[in-house]
Structure 1
Amino acid sequence: MSFGIADAVAALRRGEAIGLPTETVYGLAADASRPEAVRRIFELKGRPADHPLIVHIAGASRLDAWATDIPAAARTLASAFWPGPLTLILRKQAHVPDEVTGGQATVGLRCPAHPIALDVLRAFGGGLAAPSANRFGRISPTTAAHVREEFGDAVPVVLNGGECTIGIESTILDLSSDTPRILRPGMISRAQIEAVIGPVADGVAGDSPRASGTLEAHYAPRTPLLLLPRPALLDEARQQSAFGKRIAVLALDTLPDGLDGLALPAAADAYAHGLYAALRTLDARGVNLLLAERPPEDGAWLAVHDRLRRSAAGAGAGDDAP
């Protein structure tokens, strides 16, 4: 069944969660102002209640509805990068439900760069809490079909916005303290941010707020996954095959001769676009082990490395793993 904007808005007003396309990944979206609607997201995903959600808004003009003590840098960055894959962590307004923030004094805000998501936000008129539309810790969805595979009829309304153009989650920048700090890398890089607001720190600090997608194990297939440079990958494939194990490979640029699997482009943005779909495809093959070729180490690949590392850390765990 095909659904439109009116169907999605009606479902949101009923307190339901919907499948929402964005440029990064598909989100499981619900009314961020209604605690019971937000709790439905957690129930569907099996997500820990203290793990905060990102609120999607229709534009920078909605910042003050959700955040307070907003620094000038936030408005400057929103002007530079919104709509787009940048989440800003700010001090929350008092009315923002604890269900959204995990009980913290901060809230993550983003304006997505997808026409359907923006149409829904404008028609709905409020903010939408929208983590990735998958079971907690599992591979993020980049098509409407992936959302259906995850939830079936439990999420009746899924809007089909095609493949996500970026394919991995947004950069998260904490602006709630004196030092701007990147908590999760994305396709908006540190260099791009610093070109707009000056120096920023990198990596979670001891006093950083909790943020989406920063657990060590995340974005994970059910099949065990090793991340290796090509020479070590080839050796591992030979050894595992000798023990009778079935192997599938996620290679960079070209698939090694004689091995089953997929190859993704040797450009960071194109690789990111195809990463989660490739992991889902390989995970469904029923092999014993996935081997992913380690990409280049330069800055353009930072977000891809982050996702692959967390995928490997969580791979092979059961559905109820934290």
Structure 2
Amino acid sequence: MSTVYDCSRPQERKDGLAAAASAVRSGQLVVIPTDTVYGIGSDAFSLSAVHSLLAAKGRGPDMPVGVLVGSWSTIDGLVLSVPYQARQLIEAFWPGDLSIVLRHAPSLAWDLGHTKGTVMVRMPLHPVAIELLRETGPMAVSSANRSGQPPASTVDEAREQLGDSVRVYLDGGPSGDPVPSTIVDLTGDEPILLREGAVSIEAVSEALGGVQVGRPR
């Protein structure tokens, strides 16, 4: 049975964040507001929880899950190294609408799908999401919708699609235009734009000091 918490009410927000943190720690799924669209999330280091997330969305490991973090410094413990270009993008756009793909630390015991040794990381610009992430640590998060369906821009849209597969829903109000994050891959010799979303390719290039940003071949 799932529970919805209205985060516009201070006490309900406090109770909802506590319930969501408890759910994540016990391997259950939660839906959270972000600065793009609503996300469905779990403990990034729980194999069963991530598998439950993929099952709730109706998709397989061929479409891996990204990771949200609650602070700049968290990324240092997740990846093999943080190159200078990643620092430039983090300083320019985090918290915000830019996801960065890097080589993950080989010592991490997680399974986010068929990532080929990489991880997509973002710090969202939403106070409810950040507060939860600072309590739980890194979370595996994907858009709160069934695969092939439109992403949810309200908690009600998320509930219609995901139902009781989610333990806690945190209602942060409408997310606005459902524009996804921009994704930049920094695992190769040059930055590659995998998806242009809320942040333009021109803005990414400017943040990198004018470096040309390629597109997938």
Give the TM-score, by structure 2 length: 0.89
**Letter of the structure 2 residue corresponding to residue 142 of structure 1:** S
Determine whether 1:151 maps to 2:162. Answer: yes
Structure 1 residues not aligned, in runs of 5+: 206-322
Q: How has the CA–CA distance of structure 1 residues 201 and 76 changed in structure 2, closer, same or farther, with 3 Å as cutoff?
A: closer
Determine whether 1:129 maps to 2:162. Answer: no
Q: 1:101: Cα distance to partner?
A: 4.5
Give the TM-score, by structure 1 length: 0.61
CA–CA distance in 2 between the matches of 1:202 and 1:158?
A: 38
Out of 73, 77, 80, the residue aligned to residue 89 of structure 2 is: 77
8 A Cα contact 2:190 2:214, kept in partner: no
Q: 1:202: Cα distance to partner?
A: 3.9
Task: Give the equivalent residue in structure 2 for 1:91.
Answer: 103
**Letter of the structure 1 residue corresponding to residue 169 of structure 2:** V
Task: Give the equivalent residue in structure 1 for 2:178.
Answer: 167
Root-mean-square deviation (CA), in Å? 1.4
Task: Give the equivalent residue in structure 2 for 1:183.
Answer: 194
CA–CA distance in 2 between the matches of 1:102 and 1:129?
A: 14
CA–CA distance in 2 between the matches of 1:79 and 1:173?
A: 14
Determine whether 1:47 maps to 2:59. Answer: yes
CA–CA distance in 2 between the matches of 1:147 and 1:59?
A: 26
CA–CA distance in 1 between the matches of 2:65 and 2:44?
A: 9
**C-alpha distance after superposition, 1:261-283 (max 9, x if no partner):** xxxxxxxxxxxxxxxxxxxxxxx
Task: Give the equivalent residue in structure 2 for 1:18.
Answer: 30
Answer 1 or 2: higher relative contact order, Cα 8 Å, separation at least 6.
2
**Letter of the structure 2 residue corresponding to residue 161 of structure 1:** G
Residue 130 of structure 1 aligns to a residue whose secondary structure is strand
**Letter of the structure 1 residue corresponding to residue 54 of structure 2:** F
8 A Cα contact 1:60 1:75, kept in partner: no
Q: Aligned pair count?
A: 204
Task: Give the equivalent residue in structure 2 for 1:106.
Answer: 118
Out of 206, 210, 216, the residue aligned to residue 195 of structure 1 is: 206
8 A Cα contact 2:45 2:111, kept in partner: no
Structure 2 residues not aligned, in runs of 5+: 6-15
Out of 107, 121, 131, the residue aligned to residue 119 of structure 1 is: 131
**Letter of the structure 2 residue corresponding to residue 84 of structure 1:** G
Residue 112 of structure 2 aligns to a residue whose secondary structure is helix
CA–CA distance in 1 between the matches of 2:201 and 2:153?
A: 24
Q: 1:98: Cα distance to partner?
A: 5.5
CA–CA distance in 2 between the matches of 1:92 and 1:51?
A: 17
**Letter of the structure 2 residue corresponding to residue 85 of structure 1:** D
Q: 1:76: Cα distance to partner?
A: 1.3
Give percent identity, aligned residues only.
36
**Letter of the structure 1 residue corresponding to residue 178 of structure 2:** G
Runs of 4+ in 1 over 6 A off after TM superposition: none
8 A Cα contact 1:23 1:166, kept in partner: no
CA–CA distance in 1 between the matches of 2:121 and 2:35?
A: 15
CA–CA distance in 2 between the matches of 1:94 and 1:8?
A: 29
CA–CA distance in 1 between the matches of 2:108 and 2:195?
A: 22
8 A Cα contact 1:190 1:200, kept in partner: no
8 A Cα contact 1:90 1:108, kept in partner: yes
Q: 1:166: Cα distance to partner?
A: 4.6
CA–CA distance in 2 between the matches of 1:101 and 1:78?
A: 24
8 A Cα contact 2:29 2:49, kept in partner: yes
Residue 129 of structure 2 aligns to a residue whose secondary structure is helix
8 A Cα contact 2:103 2:187, kept in partner: yes
**Letter of the structure 2 residue corresponding to residue 10 of structure 1:** S
8 A Cα contact 1:67 1:91, kept in partner: yes
**Letter of the structure 2 residue corresponding to residue 158 of structure 1:** Y
Residue 31 of structure 2 aligns to a residue whose secondary structure is strand
Residue 68 of structure 1 aligns to a residue whose secondary structure is coil
**Letter of the structure 2 residue corresponding to residue 12 of structure 1:** V
Residue 193 of structure 2 aligns to a residue whose secondary structure is strand
Task: Give the equivalent residue in structure 1 for 2:12.
Answer: none
